[in-house]
């Protein structure tokens, strides 16, 4: 099975890129499963999402813990399923960037040691300004990290933990981002 992860700040284009990538693999006859965390098909994802729509440190921790449980649930359910050709995760281990400094790096090293990795793990690096512009164009409730201060901090923290990731500028066009992701995935297929 091919395991692909696309992560990044809110508004970086994860869902757009995942849909384009999934369509490419489906057109090749592959069985593709996409998991966009937090997922709404289980209690962990629902609790994470509910906490993200609130404020405060307790909800911050609740959102992060339940997010982790949601991602682990997806791994347990889908990662060893031989009927799946391509498993794509939106958001994965980089949720740790929302934890306090120092703790986030330690937790990242621990989870990245324990959980599966792939050579097709992409971090879409969007500027906070572009992120907010995209977020404001959605017709969705604002989450706790969707503000300039949080986005600036998260982007700075991401630089400490994306050393094993394929980092792609997400301020670029959808087409250019997609072509970079597809090229890397196709190269690793051969």
- At the topology level, CATH places domain 2-37+83-185 in Rossmann fold (3.40.50)
Alpha carbon distance 146, 176 (integer Å): 25
Given a cut of 80, whether residue 190 has pLDDT beyond it is no
Check residue 170 and report its DSSP letter.
T
Q: Which two tokens stand for residue 90?
A: 């939106």
Distance CA 102, CA 83 (A): 40
Q: Is the peptide bond before 113 cis (omega within 30 degrees of 0)?
A: no
Contact 45, 101 (CB under 8 A): no
Instruction: Quickly tell me which residue has 């999402």 as its tokens.
Output: 49
DSSP string for 8-56? ESTTS-HHHHHHHHHHHHHHTT--EEEEESSPSSSHHHHHHHHHHTS-S
Task: Tell me the pLDDT tens digit for each residue of 94-116.
Answer: 988 888 888 889 999 999 999 99
> Could you report the per-residue pLDDT of 13-70, keeping only the tens digit for each?
999 999 999 999 999 999 999 999 999 999 999 999 999 999 888 998 899 899 999 9
The set of residues, in sequence order, having a beta carbon less than 8 Å from that of 152 and lying 6+ positions away, is 128
Token pair, residue 127, equals 């500027």
CA angle 86, 6, 103 (to 5 degrees): 125
pLDDT of residue 3 exceeding 80: yes
Ranges of each domain in the chain:
2-37+83-185
């Amino acid at each position: 099975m091919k395991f692909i992860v696309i992560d990044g700040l809110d508004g970086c284009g994860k869902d757009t890129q995942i849909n384009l990538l999934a369509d490419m693999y489906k057109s090749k006859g592959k069985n593709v499963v996409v998991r966009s965390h937090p997922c709404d098909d289980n209690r962990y994802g629902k609790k994470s999402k509910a906490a993200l729509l609130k404020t405060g440190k307790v909800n911050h921790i609740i959102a992060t813990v339940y997010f982790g449980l949601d991602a682990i649930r997806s791994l347990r359910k889908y990662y060893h399923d031989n009927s799946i050709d391509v498993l794509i995760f939106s958001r994965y281990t980089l949720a740790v960037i929302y934890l306090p400094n120092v703790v986030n790096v330690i937790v990242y090293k621990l989870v990245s040691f324990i959980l599966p990795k792939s050579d097709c793990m992409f971090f879409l690096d969007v500027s906070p300004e572009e992120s907010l512009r995209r977020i404001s164009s959605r017709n969705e409730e604002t989450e706790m990290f969707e503000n300039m201060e949080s986005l600036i901090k998260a982007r700075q923290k991401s630089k400490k933990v994306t050393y094993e990731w394929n980092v792609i500028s997400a301020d670029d066009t959808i087409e250019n981002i997609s072509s970079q992701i597809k090229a890397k995935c196709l190269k690793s297929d051969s």
